[in-house]
């Protein structure tokens, strides 16, 4: 059984209430932009075959779609992350893909081996 909950609706309602309380009735402040990403939570069994085969972002826990669904895997631990969630969305290039990328948990100083920086 699947349950879908649109979490962005609550955020829009809170913003509209804030604007009304502060006397801000400008229509442009209340409209949803075309490029806004509406997040949806899907509740399902963790043993469902579709979700067992899909890479899920370790930060936001979603699969995403289109440009938000671009994933990068850590070269050390193989965990998947959205490029947007780890700040690589605009920086992903062939060098990063070729040499590999490490998540913050796996990043260490190549000189001293310290991972606390």
pLDDT in tens, 1-35: 333 333 344 444 555 655 566 555 555 544 555 55
- Give the three-class secondary structure for 98: helix
Rounded to whole angstroms, the Cα distance separating 89 from 67 reads 9
Shared domain for 31 and 60, answered yes or no, is no
Shared domain for 110 and 63, answered yes or no, is yes
- Tell me which residue of 60, 59, 63 sits closest to 51, measured CA to CA: 63
pLDDT given at position 11: 45
pLDDT given at position 1: 34
Shared domain for 23 and 74, answered yes or no, is no
Name the one residue in this structure whose structure tokens are 């085969």.
53
What lies within 8 Å, CB to CB, of 16 at 6+ separation is 30
pTM strictly above 0.75: no
- Give the three-class secondary structure for 43: strand
Structure tokens at 19: 């604007």
Shared domain for 70 and 28, answered yes or no, is no
pLDDT given at position 5: 36
Shared domain for 107 and 85, answered yes or no, is yes
Contact 57, 81 (CB under 8 A): yes
Number of folded domains that form the chain: 2
Shared domain for 29 and 69, answered yes or no, is no
Shared domain for 68 and 13, answered yes or no, is no
Domain with 9, as residue range(s), is 1-45
Q: For 45, phi and psi rounded to 5 degrees?
A: -70, 135
Which parts of the chain have pLDDT scores under 70?
1-43, 46, 64-68, 115-117
CATH number at residue 104: 3.30.40.10
Shared domain for 22 and 60, answered yes or no, is no
Shared domain for 35 and 66, answered yes or no, is no
Structure tokens at 41: 């939570």
């Amino acid at each position: 059984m699947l349950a879908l909950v649109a979490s962005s609706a609550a955020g829009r309602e809170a913003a509209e209430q804030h604007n009304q309380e502060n006397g801000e009735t400008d229509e442009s402040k209340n409209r949803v932009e075309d490029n806004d990403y509406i997040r949806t939570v899907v509740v399902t069994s963790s043993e469902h075959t579709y979700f067992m085969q899909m890479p899920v972002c370790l930060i936001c826990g979603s699969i995403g779609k289109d440009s938000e669904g671009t994933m990068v895997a850590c070269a050390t631990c193989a965990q998947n992350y959205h490029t947007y969630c780890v700040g690589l969305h605009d920086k992903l290039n062939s060098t990063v893909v070729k040499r590999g990328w490490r998540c913050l948990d796996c990043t260490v100083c190549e000189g001293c081996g310290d991972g606390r920086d």
